Structure 1
Amino acid sequence: MRYVKVSLMPTDGDIDPVGEEIEADPSLTRESILHFNRLNDGTAVLLTQLRGSRERLEAIFEDCEEILSYNVSSVRDGLQAYVHTEPTEAGAALFDLTEEHEFVVDTPIEYGGDGFQVAIIGKEETVRRAIDDVPDSIRLELEQLSDYDPELRELSSLLTDRQQEILNTASDLGYYEVPRRATHQDIADELDVSTTTVGEHLRKIEARMLSEIAH
């Protein structure tokens, strides 16, 4: 089994019918898609994680004709929005891929840059066919390709969302490479937190994961 992480960037529109409005609003930040599903009638349901103004998010949903219903909840790390919607062209194309090819999408799907990062798990030939079938309207960049290791995935599930965010950022910036390419300050600047917060979280992350490995 292979584990593949790619960045997908729609060249026209967005996978979320209100994605462009949210990106343009300084009071809101999209973080991830926690769950998604296409229903028998062709509509879709999404559970997304965001940060920012609940009132602005609800106002954007109200103004969008493609949003059939929604519910926004305040959670510890920001906002979660359950949305029943008509899928966009880019969103429908991605639903087609998940239904036509035998692979598993490893959620959450993280937003970043001009698109989002999605990881899939499946047989190598299946993953290759799915990548080949990504439509021209979506630009694809390969971020990671490796054998799937379920034990490592289980370890990462032990972390809180905040710890996972800091760990992912540290890894992306090269903190764990040899020689090290990033410092606590680099990670703090990327996440807009203090170096003390970064150091405390990394110590807890490393202690938790090493404890599990030792057992």
Structure 2
Amino acid sequence: MRYAKCIIIPDDAGLHPVDRRIANRPDVSRELLHNVNLLADESIVTIYQFSGDRGTLESILEESPMVHKYQLSGVDDAIHAYMHVEADDRLVSLLSMLKKFEFIFDTPMEFMRRGGLRVTVIGDVQSFQEAIPDVPDGIRLKLLKTGSYEPATDRLFSQLTDRQQEILQTAVDMGYYDVPRAVTHDDIGDELGCTGGTVGGHLRKIESTLLSQIVP
């Protein structure tokens, strides 16, 4: 079993008109896409994770004629949204391609700061090669790496935002989690160009996210 880690890059701000409206609002951030399914009528159901202003997000979903229904829930700073939206040709084509070649998304998928969606697709080598010509117009794929699929570590790490991954990787590399501890929050902040307080806040959120997935 193989995986391909890549970034899906739409020519505009999002993969779907509703996604684009949210992407264009500075007070709401798309963080993770926990699931996306193409239904028999070619409508789409998704589970997003957002951060930012809940009222703005509700207004967008209420006003969009393409949203059939939605539900929001939140814990701390995260807003989780279940959405059932009307079909969009480009996204339908992308999901149909994945179904045709029997690919599986390893979730969650992470939204990048510049608008792409970082995904891990599981399948076989031949299918990856055959699928490239079927990528729909208006979407580019940037391949990051391929390899044998091992789910546990990548799944946990992918739940962190791009910035959180950078801070955690730097903390580990500099020896923050060594015994005895080799560096302080301020040392890591100096390396990353931010304050020690910012580093400490991010590490607490990172540890909360990862430990809640490990401890039963």
TM-score band w.r.t. shorter chain: 0.7 to 0.9
Q: Which residue of 1 aligns with 2:64?
A: 64
Conservation of the 8 A alpha-carbon contact between 1:14 and 1:88 = no
**Residue 17 of structure 2: SS of its match in structure 1?**
coil
Q: Which residue of 2 aligns with 1:154?
A: 152
- Among the aligned pairs, what percent are the same residue? 28
Q: CA deviation at 1:90?
A: 2.6
* 1:56-95 aligned within 5 A: 56-95=56-95
Task: Give unpaired runs (5+ residues) of structure 1.
Answer: 178-182, 209-215
* 1:165-180 aligned within 5 A: 168-170=165-167, 176=173
Conservation of the 8 A alpha-carbon contact between 2:45 and 2:82 = yes
Counterpart selection for 2:200 from 169, 184, 196: 196
Q: Give, in whole Å, the separation in 2 of the partners of 1:199 and 1:154.
A: 20
CA RMSD, aligned part only? 3.6
Alpha-carbon deviations, 1:6-36, whole Å to 9, x = none?
Answer: 1111115632332222222221000111011
Q: Which residue of 1 aligns with 2:127?
A: 126
Q: Give, in whole Å, the separation in 2 of the partners of 1:12 and 1:200.
A: 34
**Residue 194 of structure 1: SS of its match in structure 2?**
helix
Q: Give, in whole Å, the separation in 2 of the partners of 1:174 and 1:132.
A: 41
Alpha-carbon deviations, 1:132-182, whole Å to 9, x = none?
Answer: 321232011111222222xxx2245567945x76663358889759xxxxx
Q: Which residue of 2 aligns with 1:52?
A: 52
Equivalences, count: 198
Q: Which residue of 1 aligns with 2:32?
A: 32
**TM-score, scaled relative to structure 2:** 0.75
The answer on 1:143 being equivalent to 2:147 is: no
Q: Give, in whole Å, the separation in 2 of the partners of 1:170 and 1:129.
A: 37
**Residue 82 of structure 1: SS of its match in structure 2?**
strand
Conservation of the 8 A alpha-carbon contact between 1:4 and 1:146 = yes
- Could you list the structure 1 runs, at least 4 aligned residues long, displaced by more than 2 angstroms after superposition: 87-90, 155-162, 164-177, 183-189, 195-202
User: Structure 1 residues 71, 53: closer, same or farther in 2, change over 3 A?
Assistant: same
* 1:100-111 aligned within 5 A: 100-111=100-111
Q: Which residue of 1 aligns with 2:116?
A: 115
**TM-score, scaled relative to structure 1:** 0.76
